[in-house]
Amino acid sequence: MGNLFPNFITISIIVISMLIFSTFTLIAFNLTNLLKIWEDKIEIIAYLKQGTSSREVEPLLNKTRLLEGVEVVRYVSPYDAMDFMATKLGRQKSLLEGIQPALLPPSFEIQLKKDYRNSTKIKEVVAHLEKIRQFEEIQYGQEWVETFSVLVHILRLTQWILGGLLLIGIVFITSNTLQLTISSRREEIEVMHWVGASPGFIRIPFYVEGLLQGLFGGGLAILFLFLLHQGFFLYIPPSMKAWMEKIPVLFLPPETIAWILLGGMVLGFFGSFVASMRVLKYK
Amino acid sequence: MNEAIIEMDHVSKTYPSQISALSDITLEILPGEFTFIAGPSGSGKTTLLRILCCAERPTSGEVVVYGMHITDPGFKKIYQLRRTMGIVSQDFKLLRDRTVNENVAFALEVTGHTRKEAKRKASDMLSRVGLEEREEDPILALSAGEQQRVAIARALVNSPPLILADEPTGNLDAKMTLDIMGTLTDLHQKGTTILFATQFTGLVKRYSYRVIRILDGQILNGRKVDSTQVPEVKPGE
C-alpha cells in the first residue's frame, strides 16, 4: 500500500459500487423470501357445482387426492363455510342472519406438496382439476402470485444487469488507480527489471494489493448495508411496525456475504491484472 | 575451443527518427574475455550494450547470449538473461529513497536472497568499491562518482558471469578509476566475462585486452587486436 490516495479512491469506489449491488441483492433476497412464504401458504380452492350430491363427494375427494402434486384435500361443506365466515366477521356476524348455508357452494381446500407451491407447478395441478366436471370454479390467487413473481424476476434481472455494469466500472477504475500506484513506484520497478527480478516477483504485490482492495471494499459495503438494514428498523413508523412483524426483513445470509466478498476480491484482482498487463511489461 | 557466449550476427538498429545507431554488427565474445568497446560519444556503444541486455530490440539481425536467442519475437525470459549479467548503466539507475546498502542489497533481495544475507553481501561488496563508510547514507548524499561506484557494486554483488559496463568510470577520478579497473581485472582473472564500453582511449591503452572499436555504428575491427593499435579518440570526439 505504497500510495494512500489512489488506494483510498479505489476502495471508496469499490465500496459504493458493491453497496449498490448488495442493496439490490438484499431487496431481491427479501422479496424472494416473501414470495416463498406466500407460496408456502398457497392452496387451491375448488368450488363444487351446486347440486353435487353428498354421495359424489367421497369418490371425488379420493380422485383429487390421487392427482400429482396434491398433499391434503379437505371438504368444506356449506355449513363449514358459514361457520368460517361467521368466525371471520366476528362481532359483525349478524350480517349473516337470514342467509341459508345452502346458498354457499361446497368446496375442496387443496394443499399442495412443497415442490408444487410455485406459480408454474400450481398451474399443472389446476389444469388437472379443471378437467373434473363436478368443479364449478377453481381459485388459487393466481394473479397476485404471478404479478409478484414477475416483479421478483425483474428485480433479479435489474440486479444482474446493474451488477454487470458495476463490475465493468470497478475493473476499469481499479486498473486505472492501480496504474497510479504503479507509476509512483516506476523507479523501483525499472531497477527490478534491470537486476532480473522475475515478472511474478514484480506483479504479485500488485495482485495482492488489488485483492485486498476488493476484499476491504466489499467488507465495508457489507458493513454499511448492515447499518442501513438496522437503521431501517429504527426509523419505520409505529403504524407500520405491526404490519412489518408479519413480513420478515432479513439481512443477507452468510453464504451471500461470502460471495460478495469473494466477488470484490476477484474484481480487485482483475483490475490489478489489467493494470499490470498495461504497464508492467518487462523492459 | 570455447564457444562464444555472445554472438551478434548482422545486427542493425535504426530508430524511428531514421537515425542509424548500429549498422551490420557481427561479433563474438568468448567466455572469460575482457573486451573494451571503444568509440566516441554517439558511436553506438550504449545501443550495442542495451541490445545485449534486451533493453532494446535491433531492427534486424540475430543476437544469441548464453544460448538464448534474445532477438526471437517469442523471447520472454528477459529476467533470466539479466540474471546472467551485471549491468552498469550511464544513468546509474539507483533508488533515490534508499540507502547505499539498500540499493546494493535490492539486487539480491529481488532474486531470492533473504534481507539479512543481502545486507551482509552488499556490505562486503561496498567495501570492495571503497564505500564501507557510506553504507547507511542516503543515496542522494553521495557524489556522482560515489553513486557510480554503488551502481558498480550492485552489478557485481550477484557474482554474474558477464558484466556489461557502460562508461563505468566516466564520473570517477584517476585513483578511483584504477581501483575499479583493479576490481574488474580481479573478476576477469576469476573467469568473469566483461564488456566495457568507454570513450577514453587512454584507459584502453593501459590494458592489453581485446578492443572492439566502433564508429558511427560500425565496427572498425571485429577480431582480436592489440589495444595499442586503437586509434586515439578523445572524450567528446
Residues of B in Cβ contact (< 8 Å) with A197: 79, 110-111
For residues B42 and B13, the answer to whether their CB atoms sit within 8 Å is no
Q: What is the pLDDT of residues B95-129, one digit of tens each?
A: 999 999 999 999 999 888 999 999 999 999 999 88
Q: What is the pLDDT of residues A150-161, one digit of tens each?
A: 877 887 788 788
How confident is the model at residue A10, as a pLDDT?
Answer: 79
Residues of B in Cβ contact (< 8 Å) with A195: 82, 87, 106-107, 110-111, 154, 158
Report for A209-218, B44-53, B182-191: range of highest mean pLDDT:
B44-53
For residues A47 and A139, the answer to whether their CB atoms sit within 8 Å is yes
CA dihedral (A91, A96, A102, A108) in degrees, to 10, reads: -40
Region A238-256: what's the mean pLDDT? 81
* Integer Cα distance of B4 and B184 in angstroms: 20
- In the predicted structure, residue B2 carries a pLDDT above the cut 70: no
Region A98-118: what's the mean pLDDT? 84
Cell 564505500 sits on residue = B131
Report for A59-63, A86-90, A153-157, B118-122: range of highest mean pLDDT:
B118-122
- In the predicted structure, residue A16 carries a pLDDT above the cut 50: yes
Give the chain B residue whose CA is nearest to the CA of A197: B110
How confident is the model at residue B226, as a pLDDT?
Answer: 43
Instruction: Give which of B42, B65, B58, B36 is closest to B194, Cα–Cα.
Output: B36
Cell numbers standing for residue B199: 570513450
pLDDT-above-90 percentage for chain B: 65
Between the two ends of chain B, the Cα-to-Cα distance in Å is 38
Q: For residue A30, how many other CB atoms are within 10 A of its CB? A: 17
Question: Dihedrals φ, ψ of B214, to 5°?
Answer: -125, 135
Cell numbers standing for residue B131: 564505500
**Residue B84, min C-alpha distance to chain A (Å):** 9
Amino acid letter, A278: R
Bridge-based pairing of strands B193-198 and B34-38 is: parallel
Task: Answer yes or no: do B111 and A188 touch at CB < 8 A.
Answer: no
* Integer Cα distance of A174 and B28 in angstroms: 48
* Integer Cα distance of A35 and A98 in angstroms: 40
- In the predicted structure, residue B227 carries a pLDDT above the cut 50: no
Distance of CA A159 to the CA centre of its chain: 10
- Measure CB to CB from residue A187 to each of B82, B87, B95 and give the nearest one: B95
How confident is the model at residue A184, as a pLDDT?
Answer: 80
- In the predicted structure, residue B150 carries a pLDDT above the cut 90: yes
